[in-house]
Amino acid sequence: PPPQAEERILKKVRRKIRNKQSAQDSRRRKKEYLDGLESRVAACSALNQELRRKVQELERRNGSLLRQLQALIKQTSNKAAQTSACVLV
């Protein structure tokens, strides 16, 4: 083959090699990106689960404190009523 034809073939082979390498690099970067996303999803899921547990605990404590407050209010109003009755007698 003439030198120009060989040069064209050589350029074509080099381009194919570069394209193949570029495709491999692209697939590698995509895999790294997806692996990173999966790690972030796992971390966020774990944090979400922990926060849900804390919310449940705080709701339980809030309910308990609310019941205590209502009992104290009732107790205080009963004592106030008894004191008023004693004063009226």
Q: Could you report the per-residue pLDDT of 20-41, keeping only the tens digit for each?
A: 999 999 999 999 999 999 999 9
- pLDDT tens for each residue of 33-81: 999 999 999 999 999 999 999 999 999 999 999 999 999 999 998 887 7
Q: Provide the Cα torsion 8, 11, 17, 19; round to 10°.
A: -100
Q: Is the pTM for the entire model greater than 0.85?
A: no
Cα gap 40→68, rounded to integer Å: 42
